[in-house]
Homo-oligomer: A and B are copies of this chain.
Amino acid sequence: MSDVSLSSFRAEPRILRLDGADNVVVAVDAIQPGDRTSGVLACDRIPRGHKMALRRISAGEPLIKFGQPIGVASADIAPGEWVHVHNVSATTLPHGDFDAATLAVDQPAFGVPSTFQGYRRSDGRTGTRNYIGILTSVNCSASVARFAAEAIERSGLLDSYRNIDGIVPIVHGTGCGLAERGEGYEVLRRTQWGYACHPNFAAVVMVGLGCEVLQIARMKKECGVEESDGFRTLTIQETGGTRRTVDQISGTIREMLPRAASARRETRPASELMLGLQCGGSDGYSALTANPALGFASDLLVRDGGTSILSETPEIYGAEHLLVRRASPRVGDRLMERLRWWEGYTARNGAEMNNNPSPGNKAGGLTTILEKSLGAVAKSGQAVLQAVYEYAEPVRSHGLVFMDTPGFDPVSATGQVAGGANLICFTTGRGSVFGCKPVPSLKLATNSEMYHRMTDDMDINCGEILEGVSLEAKGREIFDALLRVASGERTKSERLGYGDAEFVPWQIGAVM
């Protein structure tokens, strides 16, 4: 048999065309030269997740994917040619119509809103878990917090309180050696305070060393709180060293436990859910499967009156016009203001906002930052953007909101949780093993191969979208899983025990 006849036996490789206006398609399977798919004869090898031209594209003409320009042809491109960095320039494109709120799709409520079983707290918010937190104002008290958590878990005391999900030491590497005022201090204080009053904690003990910059007494004054049955503070220096402090924390938690364990799940509307949207370890499929499926689920949550938080500012850079067009002028201005802040932040630190896509992204088929950002924004569905928050600010709005965070996963998720997120959904292509405490985090695989390889870590396989499952069906599957997890079903990362090392507040400014 000749090679020609062999190739004629190959199944037609699968491709995805994401919008009727697109002039490129994405290869779901690797395409070989001579393969015919959707009526186009491939003239190059196109790796999985990479793009093939559907028709002739002249030099200077825009490449269209998601119905949006993602770059400009830097050479004439023939139908069936591989489209990537060798023949695409990322030259800034006119963003077109920047008018506010012209792009959003209203998500009107319909039918009976969904519900879940949650822990209603005295401040009106609702928890999806019932943990006890040991917070630390500074790295110098991190080990003491962990010793105390271990001592309580070892004591078997929790066996009598099945309703408590565990004791969580929230430790980190900062809290001293920073300026006593300014952005870095404010961000850290907001983060600490957001955790201290998070509805997934039934009770909190905060422990400091005593001489650190982030003084607990000052924080209490600035945040307007006092000691209570559910919130106690102490310092190692006042208490007299490691052993006494561990004993005192253990004793305090022993006193807090009966009340904390008396909390009961009750039926609550989905409007009390606040979902943090995350992506990490993206690949060429992120934008095609998990991100738009999560966007669909996010729209369902918004329709039910819930809150969905898009973040990771560096990863939406280049696609901000898509968000501005879904926002009021005031909200759009707030977003542009944060992007300008980022340009200054990266410049004064000798970095660049457009160091994306990374070599790994490029290997996976992402050609330009705009293409990557369009994929990242897909997580947020099509809802109106209601508000823009700074890192770790308390989120008060319902609907879709944006919180300004770095793209680095633990830092971004920490900001969202501080803001009040009680659920996290994390899309990943390369395979992240992220988990969070006190907030359950679902991981969504963008492709079936990784889902099966890392099945103990992945909650949902969005790779099935490449195998015929519709985005809508997968979006509903995600939304249903969110309600179950909010009601107590444990995620893969919770079963593995993740979350004791993933509290990473955004550290801005000099370490001194």
Interface residues of A (CB under 8 A from B): 139-144, 146-147, 171-174, 176-180, 182-184, 209-211, 213, 236-237, 240-243, 280-281, 314, 345-346, 348-353, 355, 358, 360, 406-411, 430-435, 453-457, 496-502, 504, 506-512
Contacts and interface: CB of A to CB of B under 8 A. Distances in A.
Contacts of A243: 456, 496
B241 A210 contact: no
Contacts of A140: 280, 409-410, 432-434
A142 B502 contact: yes
A240 B496 CA distance: 14
A508 B349 CA distance: 8
A456 B242 contact: yes
Nearest to A317: B512
Contact of A177 (B142, B183, B406): B406
26 contacts: A140-B434, A176-B408, A177-B411, A178-B408, A179-B350, A180-B355, A182-B351, A209-B281, A210-B431, A211-B360, A236-B431, A236-B433, A237-B430, A237-B431, A240-B454, A241-B431, A241-B433, A241-B455, A242-B433, A345-B510, A349-B509, A351-B509, A406-B512, A408-B512, A411-B511, A507-B511
B507 A435 contact: no
A511 B406 contact: yes
A243 B456 CA distance: 7
Nearest to A241: B454
Contact of A173 (B173, B209, B240): B173
Contacts of A144: 433
Contacts of A281: 209-211, 237
Contacts of A173: 172-173, 410-411, 504, 507
A456 B241 contact: yes
Nearest to A509: B349
B241 A351 contact: no
Contacts of A434: 140
A501 B143 contact: yes
Given A173-B173, A174-B504, A314-B512, 5 more contacts: A140-B434, A142-B502, A143-B501, A209-B430, A241-B453
Contacts of A172: 173
Nearest to A458: B241
Nearest to A150: B497
Contacts of A498: 143
Given A242-B457, A243-B456, A512-B407, A502 B139 contact: yes
B177 A408 contact: yes
